[in-house]
Structure 1
Amino acid sequence: MPKPKIVDFENELAQILKYWAIHTLDKPYGGFFGKIDHNNHVYTKAPKGSVLNARILWSFSAAYNHNQNPEYLELAKRSFDYIRNYFIDGIYGGVFWTVDHLGLPLDAKKQVYALAFNIYGLTEYHRACGDVLALALAKELFLLIEKHSFDPEKGGYLEAFSRNWKEQADLRLSEKDFNEKKTMNTHLHILEAYTNLYRIWPDEILATQIHALIDNFLVHIINPKTNRLILFMDENWQPKSTIVSYGHDIEASWLLLEAAEVLGDEAKISSVKTVSVAMARAVASGLDADGSMYYEFEPDQKHLIKERHWWVQAEAMVGFLNAWQLTGEKVFFNQFTHVWNFTKQHIISTDKGEWVWGLNEDYTLMAGEDKAGLWKCPYHNSRAMLEVINRLKKGVLNH
């Protein structure tokens, strides 16, 4: 089994961002196209998603912070300008879920998940160029989340609101989600966003909320018996789902530790390390013999969904490498290597560019999925490349 080389990940990072730089710029209407299919056919009038644009902003900003390529900063600025001009709700605050191809509000609901991703992108952009407006917008979104979404009685954050921050019946991110008031996914990405905000704005209230978010995971969201995430909960933290999401489990295992380390709380770092490694051990049950990681398991139906999604492979690489750094156990490095080799062979689209959405159990391409779209983005895979590069340079950490 060939040992991964840092240069391989540097090259793949460049290839991912090259695709987005060449294929996704919407020159007639500004910003980036809302949808491109696997064959690189552009849907010029597709809706544009705030989450996709925030992820593009994060990706090019983070890449610029890595190697100071001026083209990356230019594309990050393109994304920032589009978000500022079209996605920010100038009347009620927050961000629209989608706008049309002209930039007019389409779905104006306030999905807290989307606000979190915009904080994530804005803060990384501020780290890249020091833009004071980007930081101001990130702080504004943080305050809106705390005002409208934070549950002062039970802790945690509520999912979604109408445009003017009133309760609404449908709280779901997508049709496959459960319609519950609290979800793992939104909490994970608020944590991710707040962690990045704290790097540039070490505010005491923000620190308190990051501490609380980590505790939410340790107490309510991670099942202590299985070391797996509970995906959906009611407002009282009562579990409403038994579905196992392998990609989210392994993603949370390293994002939780990142948050604790940014806070600098040694006691919390120690406790999270233990949980991170336990989650990585548990999630290994989702690995196939070919090195790939499956999508989900539904224990009630004993149904293993053997699709291999692009983002799950990306997060698996980082999570297993993180576990190797923490323990020095070769099994984790081997798991990372196997996932990377599978990704190179089956997920990276060498002929059409970028990564395919995923493969079915029989290795056929998952039909009808995007190359770029509301959910298909450069964030998971570019971030994985950056994380792997930095972690391989450090090797096993002396913790």
Structure 2
Amino acid sequence: MSNPVPPTDDWLDDECRRLLGFGRDIGHPVGGAAWLDDVGRPDLSRPVHTWITSRTVHVYALGHLLGVEGCTSIATAALDGLRTTLHDDEDGGWFTAVDADGAPTGTAKSCYDHAFVMLAASSAVVAGLPGGDSLLAEATDVFERHFWEEPVGRVVDEWDRAWATPTPYRGLNSSMHSVEAMLAVGDVTGERVWHERAGRIASYVVGLASSHDGRLPEHFGPDWSVDLELNRDRPDDPFKPFGATIGHGLEWARLLLHVEATLGDAAPRGLLDAARLLLDRAVADGWDVDGAPGFVYTTDWDGTPVVRNRMHWVAAEGIAAAAALHRRTGEEAYADRCAQWWAYVVEHLRDVERGSWHHELDPDNRPQSSVWPGKPDLYHAVQATLLPRLPLSPSLASALALSDGVPPPA
């Protein structure tokens, strides 16, 4: 894969539409969006998840804004699932998941899920989907009352069902998706406070990146004391893995640049430098480090690979981060990285025969499913086809609306 040629805008557009076609049957009989198997069929043995349903609303709202046939009905049906099936009518907010009978599979209320509900609602409003405005109003109200924590300026990770007691755990994953959602909500509502909140979290991440040499801690106690040992015995946990998560370093690199572009002169200091550091560390620790191309999933705190499987979302976020840094700096080294990682996607992850991208590869780049069986998630891959073609601000749905559904050339 020496000297790869970056994909053209036409190729990216075709790939985006191909990916959207994979989820045409994503609706679940009980409501919301199903977990999809390897060929795009709903896996009805699995619960209906709020995060998958929310991402489905978001992705297919983007498809609607692109004028892709069939996307409107998919986004609308998933949005209805958030308003009904997954909504807790008794205590408010959203369940993490429900089973085939519509009963909640657990009692926790998670920031991760609620951040994605906000993102879904903001994209639905931009797309003009019925029910989007009321969903956004409720989602932002719930988030402000329960997940945003003043005066620390960060988020609570999880509550019990009745919102009586928060768990002591604090996490950077929910913080990351809260930043993404807050930027989108601020763009849609015009309420600057959401952008400012995103900036406060971003400022904290800048400090974490600099004090840990670009390897971001993921897990914290209730006072935000760093816990570097959590899940050492379960290093491949899909949501709370041990160690430094390569893909999150890349994702944060991009998000810091979105925050900078959104806040302008009011942005926290050091966002660009931190973005560079995070991408450089992810490359040094994670890319092509064990005898085969691809990003390893996680590393120990000295950079030693821990889980060497290759996840599709990590490559997607690498592409998006490199594209963002190229747009911000104009430096060709980042465009070269973007092209290199697209070439890896085409060679190893893109599944032309069955659709979408393989969600997980083993260390030799062969498909496997120890962490992510099936292909439940279009969010990272679809965004990787759009972010290189759009400005750093506003957020995706608003940017597509402003460009009348046609991304401008890079």
Q: Same fold (TM over 0.5)?
A: yes
Aligned to 1:47: 47
Stretch of structure 1 that moved more, 92-101 or 386-395: 386-395
What is the deviation of 1:153?
A: 4.6
The 8 Å contact of residues 295 and 312 in structure 1, kept in 2 or not, is answered as: yes
Cα-to-partner distance string for 1:151-171 (whole Å, 9 max, x where unaligned): 335331121111101226xx5
Aligned to 2:295: 293
Aligned to 1:12: 15
Q: CA 1:224/1:394 → structure 2, altered by over 3 Å: closer, same or farther? A: farther
What is the deviation of 1:386?
A: 1.1
What is the deviation of 1:38?
A: 2.6
Aligned to 1:174: none
Instruction: Give secondary structure in 2 for the equivalent of 1:107.
Output: coil
1:105-116 equivalences in 2 (<5 Å): 105-116=104-115
Aligned to 2:236: none
What is the deviation of 1:393?
A: 4.7
Among 361, 365, 374, the residue aligned to 1:359:
361
How many residue pairs match? The answer is: 375
Task: Provide the C-alpha distance between the structure 1 equivalents of 2:328 and 2:181, rounded to a whole number of angstroms.
Answer: 23
Aligned to 1:86: 85
Q: Tell me, which stretches of 5 or more residues in structure 2 are unaligned? A: 230-242, 392-406
The 8 Å contact of residues 154 and 236 in structure 1, kept in 2 or not, is answered as: no
The two structures, once aligned, show a CA RMSD in angstroms of: 2.4
Task: Provide the C-alpha distance between the structure 2 equivalents of 1:200 and 1:90, rounded to a whole number of angstroms.
Answer: 26
Aligned to 1:144: 142
Aligned to 1:198: 186
The 8 Å contact of residues 292 and 313 in structure 1, kept in 2 or not, is answered as: yes
Aligned to 1:176: none
Task: Provide the C-alpha distance between the structure 2 equivalents of 1:139 and 1:241, rounded to a whole number of angstroms.
Answer: 37
The 8 Å contact of residues 59 and 378 in structure 1, kept in 2 or not, is answered as: yes
Task: Provide the C-alpha distance between the structure 2 equivalents of 1:112 and 1:166, rounded to a whole number of angstroms.
Answer: 15
The 8 Å contact of residues 26 and 40 in structure 2, kept in 1 or not, is answered as: no
Q: Tell whether 2:25 aligns with 1:37.
A: no
Structure 1: which amino acid aligns with 2:373? D
Cα-to-partner distance string for 1:323-365 (whole Å, 9 max, x where unaligned): 2222232222111111111111111111111111111112222
Task: Provide the C-alpha distance between the structure 2 equivalents of 1:314 and 1:301, rounded to a whole number of angstroms.
Answer: 21
Aligned to 2:399: none
Task: Provide the C-alpha distance between the structure 2 equivalents of 1:102 and 1:259, rounded to a whole number of angstroms.
Answer: 41
Instruction: Give secondary structure in 1 for the equivalent of 2:299.
Output: strand
Q: CA 1:87/1:338 → structure 2, altered by over 3 Å: closer, same or farther? A: same
Cα-to-partner distance string for 1:175-226 (whole Å, 9 max, x where unaligned): xxxxx6211101111111111000111224434423322223233x434351
Structure 1: which amino acid aligns with 2:204? N
What is the identity percentage for the equivalent residue pairs of Structure 1 and Structure 2? 18
Among 184, 202, 224, the residue aligned to 1:214:
202
Task: Provide the C-alpha distance between the structure 1 equivalents of 2:196 and 2:147, rounded to a whole number of angstroms.
Answer: 16
What is the deviation of 1:300?
A: 6.1
Task: Provide the C-alpha distance between the structure 1 equivalents of 2:221 and 2:210, rounded to a whole number of angstroms.
Answer: 15
Q: Tell whether 2:238 aligns with 1:236.
A: no
Q: Tell me, which stretches of 5 or more residues in structure 1 are unaligned? A: 172-179
Q: CA 1:211/1:367 → structure 2, altered by over 3 Å: closer, same or farther? A: closer
Task: Provide the C-alpha distance between the structure 2 equivalents of 1:29 and 1:236, rounded to a whole number of angstroms.
Answer: 39
Aligned to 1:370: 373
Task: Provide the C-alpha distance between the structure 2 equivalents of 1:217 and 1:151, rounded to a whole number of angstroms.
Answer: 16
Instruction: Give secondary structure in 2 for the equivalent of 1:105.
Output: coil
Task: Provide the C-alpha distance between the structure 1 equivalents of 2:138 and 2:42, rounded to a whole number of angstroms.
Answer: 34
Q: Tell whether 2:115 aligns with 1:127.
A: no
The 8 Å contact of residues 26 and 41 in structure 2, kept in 1 or not, is answered as: no
Structure 2: which amino acid aligns with 1:163? R
Instruction: Give secondary structure in 1 for the equivalent of 2:296.
Output: coil
1:232-381 equivalences in 2 (<5 Å): 232-241=219-228, 243-262=243-262, 264-268=263-267, 271-285=270-284, 286-288=286-288, 291-299=293-301, 302-368=304-370, 369-372=372-375, 376-381=376-381
Task: Provide the C-alpha distance between the structure 1 equivalents of 2:60 and 2:308, rounded to a whole number of angstroms.
Answer: 32
Q: CA 1:139/1:320 → structure 2, altered by over 3 Å: closer, same or farther? A: same
Structure 2: which amino acid aligns with 1:106? T
| TM-score normalised to structure 2 length | 0.84
The 8 Å contact of residues 257 and 269 in structure 1, kept in 2 or not, is answered as: no
Task: Provide the C-alpha distance between the structure 1 equivalents of 2:328 and 2:269, rounded to a whole number of angstroms.
Answer: 11
What is the deviation of 1:86?
A: 1.1
The 8 Å contact of residues 89 and 96 in structure 1, kept in 2 or not, is answered as: yes
Q: CA 1:129/1:40 → structure 2, altered by over 3 Å: closer, same or farther? A: closer
Q: Which has the higher helix share?
A: 1
Structure 2: which amino acid aligns with 1:275? A
What is the deviation of 1:257?
A: 1.8
Q: CA 1:387/1:269 → structure 2, altered by over 3 Å: closer, same or farther? A: farther
Aligned to 2:402: none
Stretch of structure 1 that moved more, 148-157 or 6-15: 148-157
| TM-score normalised to structure 1 length | 0.86
